Structure 1
Amino acid sequence: MVFFGCAVHFGIRTNLSVAIVCMVNSTGLNSTTDLINNHTRHSFPLSESGNLDWSSNEQTGLLSSFFYGYIILQLPGGWIASKFGAKRLVGAMMTLAGLITITMPLVAKKGIIYMYISRFLVGLFGGAIYPSLFCLFGRWAPPLERTKLIALASSGCAAGVIITMTGSGLLCDYGFAGGWPSIFYLTGIFAIFWSVVWMLVVSDTPCTSKNITEEERKYIVDSLPITTVTVLISKKVPNTDIPWLSILTSPATWACAIGNFCTDWVDYTLLTCLPLFMKDVLKYDIKSNGVYSTLPPLTSFIMALISSYLADTLRSKQLCNTINTRKAFQCTGKILLGFLIGTGYISIQERYLAVVFLSLSTAALACSSAGYIANIVDFAPRYSGIICGICNFVGTIPGMVAPIVAGALTPNKSQEEWRHVFYLGALVCVVGAVLYAILARASVQSWAISQLEITVPLPSDNIQSDSEFHSPINHYI
């Protein structure tokens, strides 16, 4: 369900990127307009079938308005989910985002200012979803299977982007209700349908779920750190003060936040500017551009699953402990981004090699699935939603800044200028890898352990095979 939820969420997040090409009347504009979204950038030939007269600047502002709403509920969303449960919050936010998406064809005809507001609200509601999901990971994911589960669920984001971008292009020409409106209708309906199913089958904790067996419930609860077991039994976070100061000053928190920032810097740079690089430097035509631009996200999707499986295998077989596994995948992936620099030196005669290098670069980024992304739940599982909100808040900043920086560094769209973009991306990631290696932690932090006495037994050693997850306090959490 989380996999499909991420796919639906990214569907309503990126649907406008293609739809706007069909919506806008290109009369008076250049035959090709570069549209920047904080997740995808495209170079499409605009048809004259659209009836909306929006300037290029208005389109750019509209495509970026999502993130100005998205950043607002990152921190509150994680806190609300931790206090009152993630199930209802995620269901409500996805439903509201879906309803607004369905109204966009009508709103667009009213004026662009109304579209600005609509996209802002979609971003606002979407901002609470991802941190809330990490609350569920902290309560559902057995520690030695955590990396695989988080990576599989999060890979729905890449799947949603690929499906939405390719499907929206077809709907522009062959969709119902005039073509482009069907993009918003379908993605909005899918969001609402998913929300209904989500509310019917998902529970906040294994202890309250009616869709798993007693054996499954016992396996999950017994495998979790003792600090999380009380949360499951009480069905919510105990009514104690959240240690905000400890969370915000913890090296472990900032290790994940830095990892998020650096990964998203390159991720947003590539995903927003990749088609433009292929068009201006590698001279791919529009059709080839669209095909090859999907290869890097596809390799990212595959590598996320592979790296997460390898990470959990290393941990479950006790070949490597959790913290060294996290550091290995996070840092190795960033160092491999040296392929980015190589891409800047490939000539047009070897442009197919550039696609290979770019795909390897996004694959290296995907190693973060076994790095900082899974690490968010390691050191403070009961506050994982809040910590995810902090990290996602920091990680949203590159979505606003990185495409602008890339545009400023490439005023003439030359290969030499693009080298500077790749150099900067590689530098950001290498610095981030060093800082992550210094600051990262995997053991449950002392401030994440409550002092409330409980009567449940500690997990047995034969079930809890990773010693990092044992509480040092007997019968206290």
Structure 2
Amino acid sequence: MPAIRTFLYEFEWNESVKSYLLSSFFWGYVVTQVPGGYLSAIYGAKYMLFFGVLICSCLALLTPFCAITGGWKTVVVLRAVQGLCQGVIFPSTHTFLSKWAPTEERGRLVGYSYSGSQFGTVVMLSVSGYIASSSLGWPSTFYVPGCAGILWSFVWYFYCSSTPAEHPTITPAERRYIESSGQARRASDVWREVEPRPRTPWLRILTSGPFLVLVLAHCANNWGFWTLLTEIPTFMKSVLGMDIKSNGPLSALPYFAMILLTCVFIWLSDAMKQRGTILPLGFSRKFFNTLGMWLPMLALIGLGYITEGEANVRLAIALLTLAVATNSATYLGFHVNHIDLAPNYAGTLMGITNCAANFMSILAPLIVGLIVWDERNPAQWRIVFFCTAFVYFMGNLLFMLLGRTSVQDWNTPTRTPTATSAAEEREDVAGDRSPLIEA
């Protein structure tokens, strides 16, 4: 995204064309979410990630050539294909983590993995201006990340495996530790006993109460997150008189703070576990999800009362940074819940929720456009901030009340009720009765 924004300044295309260019990526992105999770479960996350990143990186190298020779329509098609390639990345990552992340380390590894996308944004926002002003010119903002993506793809291909069992250099102790971890082990034991591979239980997934709550939480989070990132810069320019889009380091500040707070939240999660108190998994997920959605909610309410003035500009930047950065706590909240509910279908679940959530990412700016017809009117922006805060509030409230962390029975192709499994289920449900709900 930083590269495409730099690229738009080089061509005299109207605002309508620029909107097509910026949105065309998401046309393809939402299409391959569900197929990406499904195919990664069948063929392995290693290959889906390899081809997804490799093809997208090669297309990045072709972007300047397509823009010069084919015009904006060619670039729109190219970016839509890039979206198709990148749509498989998050679902495949979830599939990969469901195989490799022990239950005790699941939140930590998900947090570190997904904070990588913010790290890439920080780097490109900070250096894209310097790269564009080099002797290679603006095309280098596509050449540099394109080459980096190709290099990563081959490193990934030669050193990674979809499962611990397929890794050539893993030690028996490491494999035993990963594969014997908690509920994931019990589920995979049953999975391996069934041949041929069972069909995905689509109907049971789409009618599962805990999963539907997860979909709503993901949609609410994307609504708020993308409203912040796409509309707050317009608010600050129109109402507060400051253009942060043209300031690379300032634009990168929320993402940088997000990376730092991800590490802080992971440390806090580990510290809570090491104090000797056994916290239910349900409480941990809902506690961090509350931090990740209700702290941004409070920051949005504060932004609604910001007025013009130099001191208020600094306060607005602080609130924006706080809202974006604290949202990283959801990496240890609903983001991990797909793997909690169904380790065998984690990628498919992520594909479904991320597809629905990205429609919210498209819808939210359109709703803002209907509310804010005068960009200089603070009262209209206040309505936007309060509505977004309400979405954050309801999304997390539903997750607190109705969200679950126990492995669902449709995760396994067959399930024979036993006294042991019944006891485990009672323990899981008890773990979901977190103090947040009781309070």
How far has the Cα of 1:318 moved from its partner? Answer: 4.4
How far has the Cα of 1:228 moved from its partner? Answer: 4.4
* Structure 1 residue 103 corresponds to structure 2 residue 62: yes
How far has the Cα of 1:417 moved from its partner? Answer: 2.0
CA distance in 2, matches of 1:237, 1:81: 18
- Further displaced range: 152-161 or 211-220: 211-220
Partner of 1:364 in structure 2?
326
Change (3 A) 1:420 1:293: farther
Equivalent residue letter for 1:385: G
8 Å CA contact retained: 1:93, 1:129: yes
Structure 1 stretches of 4+ with a deviation exceeding 6 A read: 231-234
8 Å CA contact retained: 2:291, 2:330: no
CA distance in 1, matches of 2:196, 2:320: 47
8 Å CA contact retained: 1:67, 1:399: no
Change (3 A) 1:85 1:285: closer
Question: Of 218, 221, 225, which residue of structure 2 is paired with 1:263?
Answer: 221
CA distance in 1, matches of 2:7, 2:155: 27
Partner of 2:433 in structure 1?
none
CA distance in 2, matches of 1:305, 1:277: 30
Change (3 A) 1:125 1:217: same
Amino-acid identity (%):
32
How far has the Cα of 1:275 moved from its partner? Answer: 2.3
Partner of 1:297 in structure 2?
255
How far has the Cα of 1:72 moved from its partner? Answer: 0.3
Matches for 1:171-190 after TM superposition, within 5 Å: 171-176=131-136, 179-190=137-148
Change (3 A) 1:148 1:94: same
CA distance in 2, matches of 1:240, 1:200: 30
Partner of 2:307 in structure 1?
347
* Structure 2 unaligned blocks of 5 or more: 430-439
Partner of 1:48 in structure 2?
none
| 1:227-259 CA-partner distances (Å, limit 9, x unpaired) | 44448979x996111111111111221222111
CA distance in 2, matches of 1:231, 1:292: 51
Partner of 1:47 in structure 2?
none
| 1:244-297 CA-partner distances (Å, limit 9, x unpaired) | 111111122122211111111111111112322222222225688544332222
* Structure 1 unaligned blocks of 5 or more: 1-12, 26-53, 459-463, 470-477
Partner of 1:24 in structure 2?
11
Partner of 2:411 in structure 1?
448
* Structure 1 residue 71 corresponds to structure 2 residue 33: no
CA distance in 1, matches of 2:191, 2:261: 32
Change (3 A) 1:173 1:283: same
* Structure 1 residue 221 corresponds to structure 2 residue 179: yes
* Structure 1 residue 15 corresponds to structure 2 residue 28: no
Q: TM-score, normalised by structure 2?
A: 0.88
Partner of 2:358 in structure 1?
396
Equivalent residue letter for 1:295: L
8 Å CA contact retained: 2:2, 2:128: no
8 Å CA contact retained: 1:205, 1:232: no
CA distance in 2, matches of 1:169, 1:137: 35
* Structure 1 residue 335 corresponds to structure 2 residue 294: yes
Change (3 A) 1:467 1:309: farther
Partner of 1:436 in structure 2?
399
Higher helix share goes to which structure?
Answer: 2
CA distance in 1, matches of 2:156, 2:355: 25
Matches for 1:67-466 after TM superposition, within 5 Å: 67-109=26-68, 110-176=70-136, 179-224=137-182, 225-230=184-189, 239-284=197-242, 289-315=247-273, 317-336=276-295, 337-349=297-309, 350-414=312-376, 415-451=378-414
CA distance in 2, matches of 1:468, 1:312: 20
| 1:287-339 CA-partner distances (Å, limit 9, x unpaired) | 88544332222222222222233335435644321112111221343222122
CA distance in 1, matches of 2:160, 2:249: 36
8 Å CA contact retained: 1:19, 1:172: no
8 Å CA contact retained: 2:261, 2:328: yes
8 Å CA contact retained: 2:289, 2:396: yes
Partner of 2:434 in structure 1?
none
| 1:167-205 CA-partner distances (Å, limit 9, x unpaired) | 2222222251xx111111122111111110110011011
- Further displaced range: 123-132 or 354-363: 354-363
Equivalent residue letter for 1:293: S
8 Å CA contact retained: 1:206, 1:232: no
Change (3 A) 1:241 1:288: closer
Change (3 A) 1:287 1:241: closer
CA distance in 2, matches of 1:420, 1:248: 33
Equivalent residue letter for 2:8: I
Change (3 A) 1:289 1:98: closer
Change (3 A) 1:300 1:238: farther
How far has the Cα of 1:213 moved from its partner? Answer: 2.5
8 Å CA contact retained: 2:125, 2:249: no
Q: SS state of the match for residue 212, structure 1?
A: coil
CA distance in 2, matches of 1:237, 1:423: 52
| 1:102-144 CA-partner distances (Å, limit 9, x unpaired) | 1111111212111110000000111011101101111100111
8 Å CA contact retained: 2:129, 2:248: no
Q: TM-score, normalised by structure 1?
A: 0.81
Aligned length: 415
Q: SS state of the match for residue 103, structure 1?
A: helix
Change (3 A) 1:318 1:233: farther
Change (3 A) 1:348 1:294: farther
CA distance in 1, matches of 2:261, 2:25: 28
Equivalent residue letter for 1:369: Y
How far has the Cα of 1:356 moved from its partner? Answer: 1.5
